[in-house]
Amino acid sequence: DPALVWFRDDYRISDNPALTAAAATGAPILCFFIFDESSQGIRPLGEASGWWLHGSLSALDSDLRALGSKLFLFRGSASEIVSRIAAVTHASSIFWNRRYEAAEIALDTGIKKDLVERGITVQTFNGKLLHEPWEIKNQAGKPFQVFTPYLRAVSMRSVAPPLPAPRTITAGRWPADLLDSSVALDDLALEPSRPNWAKGFAAEWNPGEQSARRKLADFLNTELPGYARQRDFPGKDSTSRLSPHLRFGETSPRQIWHASTVRNDGQESDTAKFLSEVVWRDFCYQQLFHNPNLATAPFNSRFGRFRWAADKDALAAWQKGRTGYPIVDAGMRQLWQAGWMHNRVRMIVGSFLVKHLLTDWRQGEAWFWDTLLDADPANNAFNWQWVAGSGPDAAPFYRIFNPIAQGEKFDPNGAYIRAYVPELAGLPGSAIHRPWEASKEILGPAGIELGSTYPRPIVNHEQARERALHAFRMLRAEA
Ligand code: FAD
């Protein structure tokens, strides 16, 4: 009887504990994926994530073929499809890696119960995190609310070594009537057709495990030295850009951990800083696991009464990168073109939306969900709550980023702005972060006419700051 392997956001063959365990049974193996957006509570993927998923599934299929197997795709309700696959194939066992979102946990629990009742062995694994959300606890036996002690607790534990890919897989045979209900990758229509807004993605990204592996190796060799100092500068390509690969499980944090910790060449602090970011990801998952509504409900419930401005024009200007604040606009345009944004700029644009435009952080979370290639249920929700000041271990609301000062500090010569806001490219570094203060003698030769070729600021920084602080004081007074 065959063993089934159900792939879910773990599109890789190495360090995939479910696949390795299935291969070790010696049984013929059937690998499948289900595109399920109909089960209760499942959040549909954003458009950008769909583009990545297409690439991930295609790469996984060819990697499985190299092992003698292949990936079969289905669409619809996961519980119905798994139940049918198990029945028609007479499978004796099924293997998958665990998920941590509430709706997915409920779904998986129901499926597991049904299969076990039918005498099928169900084996599940940690394929996603360094440590699962229930593993790291404080001295009172509770989950950590604050990152620093969490990181300290993590650093006392060892991380399991990553598993090598199975050498070969004995491929099982799919019964014909099941094959009839499987779908081709193109049938999932994950890629945009008309207009093809994803052209910029293909120029910068290459989904799949092999490209994730190359990217990790390149990063460790070239950008890791100096990472701790350089990572905040968006004009330098100094971070790993592994986030979409991690989001879709084309690499695992265990692989990153072990590839990074074997070094002992004076780069310990860069390595520690980099790995602490990977631990942040675990921390976000821990928060999501214990607060299932992290993307929709403020963790600090007081923020549920915040009086947001609900200004549609301001939200649209932010989404399009036309706020008149160059660093904000550069970030939002990078997001649209590349499906990714540098972490420092995510914080700047997030703060700008929530505080300068007094817009509900959930609008920002939803836009990122749709446009980020790495849109992640835990990282995105947690970080938006961090930015908004409502989250666990968040930046306090009253700490309001000054978009001009942030630009001048982290993009001092304007290289990042020039890359994404080409209409400002002719400005000298001294003027590029505040074009509205530049004289006609500077703007003219650079071909800039404010209000026409580039917008004037949609809000005044000082006034917006006062308005935000006032709204926050009102919230506190009502509490
Ligand atoms: P590196 O600096 O190379 O870090 C390595 C890995 O560590 C990343 O790939 C990521 O998996 C993890 N990581 C780094 N920073 C964080 C962080 N602050 N929180 C959690 N994990 C982190 N990250 C996502 O993966 N998906 C999201 O949807 C997402 N939304 C965000 C929204 C906002 C408002 C903010 C401020 C941050 C968000 N982040 C998100 C976190 C962070 O910006 C990205 O993980 C990072 O920019 C990815 O680039 P990198 O892979 O080059 O990072």
Type of residue numbered 267: Q
Look at residue 479 in the predicted model and tell me its pLDDT. Answer: 66
3-state secondary structure of 364: helix
- Of the residues 340, 361, 367, 369, only one is catalytic, namely 361
CA of 343 to the centre of ligand 1 (A): 6
Please tell me the CATH code under which domain 1-127 is placed: 3.40.50.620
Indicate if 361 belongs to the active site: yes
CA of 241 to the centre of ligand 1 (A): 9
Q: How are beta strands 3-7 and 29-35 bridged, if at all?
A: parallel
Q: Give the number of other CB atoms < 10 A from CB of residue 356.
A: 27
Q: For residues 23 and 169, is the Cβ–Cβ distance under 8 A? A: yes
231 Cβ below 6 A of ligand 1: yes
347 Cβ below 6 A of ligand 1: yes
374 Cβ below 6 A of ligand 1: yes
Q: State the Cα–Cα distance between residues 275 and 240, nearest whole angstrom.
A: 11
Output the CA angle 243-245-248, nearest 5 degrees: 105
> Hey, what are 460's tokens?
């005044």
Look at residue 265 in the predicted model and tell me its pLDDT. Answer: 64
Q: For ligand 1, pick from 9, 277, 279, 288 the residue to mutate: most ligand atoms within 8 Å of CB.
A: 277
The alpha carbon of 462 is separated from its chain's Cα centroid by a whole number of angstroms, namely 32
Q: For residues 241 and 223, is the Cβ–Cβ distance under 8 A? A: no
CA nearest ligand 1 atom 2, residue:
239
Q: How are beta strands 29-35 and 121-125 bridged, if at all?
A: unpaired
Which residues touch 332 (CB under 8 Å, ≥6 apart)? 318, 319, 320, 321, 323, 341, 349
CA nearest ligand 1 atom 32, residue:
380
Q: For residue 72, list its beta bridge partners.
A: 32
Asked whether the bond before 195 is cis by omega within 30 degrees of 0, the reply is: yes
Q: For ligand 1, pick from 260, 273, 379 the residue to mutate: most ligand atoms within 8 Å of CB.
A: 379
CA nearest ligand 1 atom 30, residue:
380
Identify which of 197, 251, 195, 335 has the alpha carbon closest to the alpha carbon of residue 59. Answer: 251
CATH superfamily placement of domain 301-478: DNA Cyclobutane Dipyrimidine Photolyase, subunit A, domain 3 (1.10.579.10)
Any idea where the domains of the chain sit in the sequence?
1-127, 129-162+209-290, 301-478
Q: Give the position, in ligand 1's atom list, of the atom nearest the Cα of 227.
A: 2
Look at residue 262 in the predicted model and tell me its pLDDT. Answer: 63
Look at residue 263 in the predicted model and tell me its pLDDT. Answer: 62
Q: Average pLDDT of each block of 10 consecutive residues along the chain (479 residues)?
A: 97 98 96 97 96 98 96 98 97 98 98 98 98 96 95 94 95 92 96 85 97 97 94 96 98 96 72 96 98 95 91 97 98 97 98 97 98 98 96 86 98 97 96 97 96 98 96 86
Best CATH choice for the domain 129-162+209-290 from the list 1.25.40.80, 3.40.1080.10, 1.10.10.10, 3.40.640.10: 1.25.40.80
243 Cβ below 6 A of ligand 1: yes
375 Cβ below 6 A of ligand 1: yes
> Hey, what are 75's tokens?
């669409």
- Report the C-alpha dihedral over residues 364, 369, 375, 379, rounded to 10 degrees: 50
Which residues touch 129 (CB under 8 Å, ≥6 apart)? 100, 253, 281, 282, 285
